[in-house]
């Protein structure tokens, strides 16, 4: 597809150093990479390799110690905190290992929430949220709260919430970690379909073989550095 040649995100020499009782602990040690429109990219590596830290910097949830992230030609870290919050709401969908649904809200209200933050009128956001739940095969969960759903159902609601604003990129941090293999594969089928039909760019951090084998681009991270990049033949 021609859109694959279009660069969306560029990370330039990203470094992140945490401090543990005053001792510097480098999590990411100088990562540069380019993410293109339509990518289905997996950042893989063992626990502690810096995957989640890198993903959080790409989505501006965490600021790098050094380096920068350029999104559609603009440096993210020149933006104010409020500008970054608005940017995330408009451009990025997040899917987390722990689902991060709001427990007091129903599935429908959870999916509506990012649209509410963007000021979408109530009737329109309700219709769009319900249509998205139906598209993901979970329309019957609309009135259920997270504690009434299985892990796989909660994660589907989280995916619906991540993509309802039609973001350019979905960042998914270990999205299958708490799911059994059947449910995890069904979720991945869904994400592959969204990538192909809606041209949503997906970037995963994962050490789950199920996720890794779906990658169109695979970046291996170890000790906060890119060790190799592969393009598995699908």
Computed over every residue of the chain, the mean pLDDT equals: 92
Distance between CA 26 and CA 217 in Å, rounded? 25
**Rounded to the nearest 5 degrees, what angle is found at the Cα of 93, between the Cα atoms of 232 and 100?**
105
pLDDT at 83: 93
pLDDT at 3: 52
pLDDT at 2: 43
Distance between CA 31 and CA 26 in Å, rounded? 12
Residues 115, 127 contacting (CB under 8 angstroms): no
Low-confidence stretches of the chain (pLDDT beneath 50): 1-2
CATH code of the region 38-51+82-230: 3.40.50.300
List residues bridging with 10 in a β-sheet: 34, 70
pLDDT at 47: 87
**Rounded to the nearest 5 degrees, what angle is found at the Cα of 5, between the Cα atoms of 93 and 211?**
45
Contacts (Cβ under 8 Å, ≥6 apart) of 111: 129, 132, 133, 157, 160, 161, 164
The full set of domain ranges for the chain reads 38-51+82-230
Structure tokens at 32: 């540069």
- Closest listed residue to residue 131, CA positions, set 122, 142, 116: 142
pLDDT at 136: 85
Structure tokens at 46: 């063992």
pLDDT at 99: 81
List residues bridging with 50 in a β-sheet: none
């Amino acid at each position: 597809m021609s859109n694959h040649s279009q660069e969306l995100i560029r990370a330039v020499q990203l470094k992140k150093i945490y401090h543990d009782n005053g001792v510097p602990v480098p999590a990411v040690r100088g990562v540069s990479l380019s993410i293109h429109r339509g990518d289905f990219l997996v950042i893989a590596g063992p626990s502690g390799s810096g995957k989640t830290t890198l993903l959080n910097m790409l989505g501006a949830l965490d600021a790098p110690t050094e380096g920068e992230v350029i999104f559609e030609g603009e440096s993210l870290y020149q933006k104010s905190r409020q500008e970054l919050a608005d940017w995330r709401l408009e451009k990025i969908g997040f899917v987390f290992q722990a689902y991060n649904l709001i427990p007091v809200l129903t599935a429908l209200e959870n999916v509506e929430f990012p649209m509410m933050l963007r000021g979408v009128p109530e009737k329109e956001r309700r219709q769009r949220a319900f249509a998205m739940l139906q598209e993901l095969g979970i329309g019957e969960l609309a009135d259920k709260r997270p504690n009434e759903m299985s892990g796989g159902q909660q994660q589907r609601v989280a995916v619906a919430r991540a993509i309802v604003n039609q973001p350019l990129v979905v960042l998914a941090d270990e999205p299958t970690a708490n799911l059994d293999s059947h449910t995890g594969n069904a979720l991945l089928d869904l994400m592959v379909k969204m990538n192909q039909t809606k041209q949503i760019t997906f970037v995963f951090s994962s050490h789950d073989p199920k996720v890794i084998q779906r990658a169109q681009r695979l970046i291996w991270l170890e000790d906060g550095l890119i060790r190799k990049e592969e393009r598995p033949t699908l």
